[in-house]
Structure 1
Amino acid sequence: MVGYTIRRIIQSIIVLLGVLVIMFILQSLLPNPARAIVGVHASPAVVHAFIVQNYLNKPFYFQLWHYLYEVIWQHTLGTSYKLNESVGSILKRDAPKSFLLVGVALLISIVVAIPIGIFQAVRRNKASDQAVTGLSFVLYAMPTFFLGELLILLFSEYFHLLPAEAPQGSTVGQILAQPTGLILPIATLALVNFAGYSRFMRSSAIESLAQDFIRTARAKGLSERVVLFKHMLRNSLIPIVTLIGLTLPAVLTAGLITEFLFNFPGIGSDYITALTSQDYPTALGITLIVAVFTVLGNLLADIAYAALDPRVRY
């Protein structure tokens, strides 16, 4: 298990370095942002000073080496063109808030989806199963922004129960001080994720219930609760663990959309602002964070898969 984990970690580091280089190459193909950053009426001297300050007049290999140095050794991820501060400090300030939003939504969706999926498998093709299946299909088909808009219209505009805007604050503590404002953005992410996880859990549980070891456990006279949660659950969780690892970046990117929709002060808002203002270093830094979570999700899925099924280690 240790050797397998070390190999996967080394592979993940190599993949991240490759992704970092490819993203920087793609960024270098974009138009020079100097005029957009300093303003259309700025003098040529001001534009030239901006270009020199950000090494945009240097050869590509120099720019790449300088960026790798900032990312790997200085951990600054470059300097924001608009805010004139390191991208690392921006992420340090806003990323915890985004991780809070996405993490809580992901946890809720998993905790709810697993027992619901088992319930559907046990009640396969019954009215309750079909009702939950229909709801899951509806939620799964909805884009994140559309579901968020529906929740705002229903709970904020029509019933006036919850605020349409997420809590505003520069720290996690300030965000948590306004818990009612977190309900709608968290519900938006949790409902979309729940739909997919519950469907996969149902399919996996149905497949496990048809296996010989389940029939053997029941033949021994074990209670249905022991059969479901001791014998069936572990085998059913294998594809779910893989799914969670693979969908982690999708959950994070959905969180970016949700943040913009609810005006949540996280990296989603930073990302939209960076794209619209051609602040390439900030956009690249946030994209790198998404790439890290993509690789990390796959790594954790592989490790958890190996823990659940020892055959994977070989």
Structure 2
Amino acid sequence: MTLFGYLIRRLFYTVPLLLAVIVIIFILINAAPGDPVDFMVGEAGADQAVIDRLRAQLGLDQPLIVRLGAYILEILRGNLGFSYSSGAPVLALIIERFPATILLMATQYALAAIVGITLGVIAARKPRSRADNVITFVSLASFAIPVFWLGQMMILVLAYHFNWFPIQGMANLRRGYTGMDYVLDVAYHMVLPAATLALSNIGLITRLTRSSMIGVLEQDYVKVARAKGLSERVVLTRHALRNSLLPVITVIGDTLPGLIAGAVIVETVFGWPGLGRLTLDAINARDYSLLMGMFLAISVFVIIINLIVDLLYAVLDPRIRYQ
């Protein structure tokens, strides 16, 4: 099977998965405690007639199965509804915040993969050496630290005490940077939140790369490559590392849901204007439409990342396409 055929088959499998996700999200959100009408009315209250009219306008007076069917039809039309709290289209709100989250997630993934794989290879070259012990200790410590505590400590020490980095936000709005100055300003603001998210992932990737590399370096084809006189760099990168990346890629894909949950906390701590911050605001406002749209967007994002992981599997190990 070609790589394109493998992609088509994987895309076909995602259709029932996405439908199941929509149904589960809709049922769980509507079963959660709280009522968006109560939030809209506020503490001042309102007449029962006004409350009933609001519920009818929002469709909350209909049976659950009827609302589910209507919601699926609207999704097929490309409409995720309107936010109860802001009145803006849900899709527009998600598109507005999506680039900030993608930028943060992609940066931390690149940072975690580069640093984690590099440290894992260094540790695997000489197991139980001083470098291996130091890397093992640091990776375990970084994996065990909670992201909410780490983010606050980074703000307290690096931003507040030493004044090396900005405390919150994505850019300095007062300066009004444009062009490359704006890009550098965003990168400067992204250092702390990206490092906070990446540190726990670095520890996991480092440990997995180390254990996988140690097993591969003991294989016969690696010993033959060394016997041919190939340099250690070529042996590690061309022969050992490529065959060690499959479990690492799996972990990178599997950690995405946890990282998105951590992004909600990190974006709140650092004031990063992304999907995580928008999700927290929607939860506080009991904004059902926005919450369902957010969770649907996050689910699609996770499915796409897992699809990319499957394709990388097929590229690194062509035997997977023929199974």
**TM-score by structure 1 length?**
0.93
The verdict on how the C-alpha distance between 1:169 and 1:268 changes in structure 2, with shifts beyond 3 A counting, is: farther
Return the offset for 1:169.
8.0
SS at structure 2 position matched to 1:8: helix
Does 1:212 pair with 2:214?
Answer: no
Whether the 8 Å CA contact 1:166–1:185 is kept in 2: the answer is no
Q: What does 1:102-251 align with in structure 2 at a 5 Å threshold?
A: 102-167=105-170, 177-251=185-259
Taking the aligned partners of 1:60 and 1:148, their CA distance within structure 2 comes to 40
Q: Which residue of 1 aligns with 2:30?
A: 28
How far apart in 1 are the matches of 2:132 and 2:291?
Answer: 43
* TM-score for both structures, normalised by structure 2: 0.91
| CA distance in 2 between partners of 1:304 and 1:159 (Å) | 42
What letter matches 1:65 in structure 2? G
In the alignment, the residues of structure 1 paired with residue 172 and residue 297 of structure 2 have an alpha-carbon distance, to the nearest angstrom, of: 22
RMSD (CA atoms): 2.1
| Count of residues paired in the alignment | 313
Which ranges of structure 1 fall in alignment gaps of 5 or more residues? Answer: none
1:271-310 equivalences in 2 (<5 Å)? 271-310=279-318
Distance in 2, matches of 1:177 and 1:152, equals 17
Shift of the alpha carbon at 1:158? 2.0
CA contact (8 A) 2:30 2:288 kept: no
Contact 1:148/1:258 (8 A) holds in 2: yes
Aligned to 2:48: 44
| One of 18, 21, 30 as aligned partner of 2:20 | 18
| 1:277-306 deviation digits (Å, cap 9, x = unpaired) | 111111121111221122222222222112
CA distance in 2, matches of 1:76, 1:250: 28
In 2, the alpha carbon distance for the partners of 1:62 and 1:13 equals 22
User: Counterpart amino acid of 1:251?
Assistant: L
Letter in 2 for 1:92: I
Matched with 1:66 is 70
Asked whether the 8 Å contact 2:108–2:198 carries over to 1, the reply is yes
In the aligned structure 1, how far is the partner of 2:58 from the partner of 2:237?
58
User: Can you list the C-alpha shifts for 1:96-153, whole angstroms capped at 9, x where unaligned?
Assistant: 1111111111111111211211111002111111111101111100111111111112
Judging changes above 3 Å, is the alpha-carbon distance between structure 1 residues 169 and 60 closer, same or farther for their aligned structure 2 residues?
farther
List, as ranges, runs of 4+ consecutive aligned residues in structure 1 with deviation greater than 6 Å: 172-175
Describe the superposition over 1:11-33 as per-residue Cα deviations: whole angstroms up to 9, x where unpaired.
Answer: 11210111111111122223443
Spell out, residue by residue over 1:154-189, the C-alpha distance to the aligned partner (whole angstroms, 9 max, x if none). Answer: 10222122122132589x976864442221111111
